[in-house]
Chain A
Amino acid sequence: MAHQYDLVVVGAGYAGLMAAKTAGENGLKTALIEMKHNITKPLRADCQTLLPMAEGEDYLEETVNYDPKTGVIKFVKNDLSFKYDGPYRNIYAFHFYSVDGEFVKFGEPSEQRKRGDKGRISIALDKSKVLSSLLGQAKTAGVEVFPGTVVTGVSKIDGGVKVTSNLGKDFTATFAIAADGANSRIAQILGFNKDRGYYSSMTVLGYYSKDLKVPDPDTAYYIGAQYENTSLIVAVVPRPYEKEHVVVFISVDCRVDLLKFYKYLTEETKISSWFKGAKSELVNSSCNNMWSTIEKPYKDNVLLVGDVIWCQESENFGALYSGGMAARAVANAIKSNNPTEEGIKGYLQWWDSAFYNNPKYQHDQLMANYLLGIVLNNEEISYLFSKINVTLKASMHPYLLLTDLGKAIGPIAPEIQKEKPQILAGLGRTQQESPAEILKDEAAAGFPNR
């Protein structure tokens, strides 16, 4: 039986749009389904950067390049690219703060800035423009787009897959790509969430701020805090416009009232001076179930990509890249008339070697980045940061941050042990216990869509 499409892509975020665009350009008859009506408006909070991009840094055995002259963002080794029609800003350093204003520096921005593009560790993009660029290229490549459509079911049919929606409209295709995010309905329906590790349900608020008084305009800041006995991270990241930032409040515990925490941070802490006289507007939010990684992102002609298969650590890199790789595998399978698991095995082999079984990536490491405010209180975080007086390597690589921080703590550990032994004991927990153990209370309060 002939299907309506070669490929139906569910979700028009970075992963789904890149998948749809790549599929369309490879001649596949492609449908793209998205729950939002306005695809180009970023309604889910994130930091809107592309990383890791520091010189010599790779991720998934791949590097990403941006050439402002052509506007092309390109994954070099596997030659996946798209044109970005929007502004950008180099980010030169990453500084990790406590709420009391103590900090650790990953890179000295004045030094990095002197080296121009070679000194950047990431670029800030306008997410709305990324979405509109990708959507435009997908449409040009012939992709049919269905906004305002929520997927309610996915099932196996003869030689393909059927996706059902809330509008009563069904989509049949040879393959489907699930790019429907951390709370993926498709992963749930296909049974991937049944035995998968679950960390917690994470809530996020995203603000756009004007005229923040941050120490350096081209530095991305994290503020690590303990609040109501759990761990919060606030990311303050430059936008590609003068004196504008995206400020993202992240809680690993869904019970925390982030609006109340926003008030606390911006009015009662040392960091509040950054917000004096600034204009901040709540623009988006999110609630994400944080799951452990999927070993084999495929079942019954459905390929899984982006945040569906692992926890968002890659800040858009992994979403764009996995989406493109999956679409390419589908194109190969269809061209070689082999619409089976065997036909798309290139995608599975890539995932296995580049990430899942790559010794560089301890999957739990990402969650460990969020745990500081559970194992240490605010006073301890401040004390620890005040003791680290070296500038660490300029980087925002999610898999290297804690390793580099650990290296800096090593030489001062004896002093810390003498003055505040509870700090080393707290940090030790992140080595001895898994993130899931540390997040037991947070997980109990969450709502995994198994």
Chain B
Amino acid sequence: MVTIDTKLCTGCGGCINICPVCALSLSKDDSATVNDKCNDCEICIRACPVHCITK
């Protein structure tokens, strides 16, 4: 599963709709959060403009 640095995340949501398995959403503070549907395809890592997603 990917890891999200919520301090760096701007909450743009760019990763959310491109996730092929709907594993991403925004938490209460509007930073991205991932659930266990994540299948490690890493598309979100390439998409994130602020590099807040890693593995």
Is the C-beta of A382 less than 8 angstroms from some C-beta in chain B? no
* A185-B17 contact in complex given A203-B47, A204-B49, C-beta closer than 8 Å: yes
Closest B residue to A148 by beta carbon equals B26
- Partner of B25 from the list A35, A38, A282 (CB cut-off 8 Å) is A35
Chain A residues, Cβ within 8 Å of B48: 287
Closest B residue to A149 by beta carbon equals B25
Is the C-beta of A166 less than 8 angstroms from some C-beta in chain B? yes
Shortest beta-carbon distance from A376 to chain B in Å: 25
Task: Give the secondary structure class of B's interface.
Answer: loop
- Residue-wise, chain B 23-47 has the 8 Å CB interface mask toward A (1 for contact) of 0111111100000000000010011
Shortest beta-carbon distance from B20 to chain A in Å: 7
Shortest beta-carbon distance from B17 to chain A in Å: 4
Contact B46 A37 (CB under 8 A): no
Shortest beta-carbon distance from B12 to chain A in Å: 5
Contact B16 A285 (CB under 8 A): no
A447 to B46, CA, bound (A): 9
Contact A43 B13 (CB under 8 A): yes
- Partner of A449 from the list B11, B20, B28 (CB cut-off 8 Å) is B20
- Partner of A36 from the list B13, B24, B47 (CB cut-off 8 Å) is B13
Contact B11 A36 (CB under 8 A): yes
- Partner of B10 from the list A283, A447, A449 (CB cut-off 8 Å) is A283
Contact B22 A284 (CB under 8 A): no
Is the C-beta of A180 less than 8 angstroms from some C-beta in chain B? yes
A247 to B23, CA, bound (A): 31
- Partner of B26 from the list A35, A185, A284 (CB cut-off 8 Å) is A35
Chain A residues, Cβ within 8 Å of B25: 35, 148, 150, 166
Is the C-beta of A118 less than 8 angstroms from some C-beta in chain B? no
8 A Cβ contacts from A278-332 to B: 282-289
Q: Interface size for chain B: under 10, 10 to 19, 20 to 34, or 35 or more residues? A: 20 to 34
Chain B residues, Cβ within 8 Å of A255: 46
Chain A residues, Cβ within 8 Å of B16: 35, 150, 183
8 A Cβ contacts from A209-245 to B: none
A287 to B15, CA, bound (A): 7
- Residue-wise, chain A 260-289 has the 8 Å CB interface mask toward B (1 for contact) of 000000000000000000000011111111
A447 to B47, CA, bound (A): 8
Contact A150 B14 (CB under 8 A): no
- Partner of A183 from the list B17, B27, B49 (CB cut-off 8 Å) is B17
Shortest beta-carbon distance from B32 to chain A in Å: 10
Most buried by B among A37, A285, A287: A287
Chain B residues, Cβ within 8 Å of A180: 17
Chain A residues, Cβ within 8 Å of B46: 254-255, 445, 447
Contact A36 B30 (CB under 8 A): yes
A35 to B28, CA, bound (A): 10
- Closest 10 pairs (CB-CB, A-B): A287-B14, A183-B17, A285-B49, A203-B49, A43-B11, A287-B47, A285-B12, A150-B25, A185-B17, A152-B22
Can you list 25 A-B contacts (CB < 8 A)? A35-B13, A35-B16, A36-B30, A37-B28, A38-B30, A43-B10, A43-B13, A44-B12, A150-B22, A150-B24, A150-B26, A180-B17, A203-B49, A254-B47, A258-B49, A282-B10, A282-B50, A283-B10, A284-B10, A284-B12, A287-B18, A287-B49, A288-B14, A289-B18, A445-B46
Q: Mark A residues whose CB is within 8 Å of B.
A: 35-38, 41, 43-45, 148, 150, 152, 166, 180-181, 183-185, 188, 201, 203-205, 254-255, 257-259, 282-289, 445, 447, 449
New contact pairs (20) apart from A38-B30, A166-B22, A449-B20, CB-CB < 8 Å: A35-B13, A35-B25, A36-B13, A36-B30, A37-B28, A37-B29, A37-B30, A43-B13, A44-B12, A148-B25, A150-B16, A150-B25, A152-B22, A183-B18, A201-B47, A205-B49, A257-B51, A287-B15, A445-B46, A449-B17
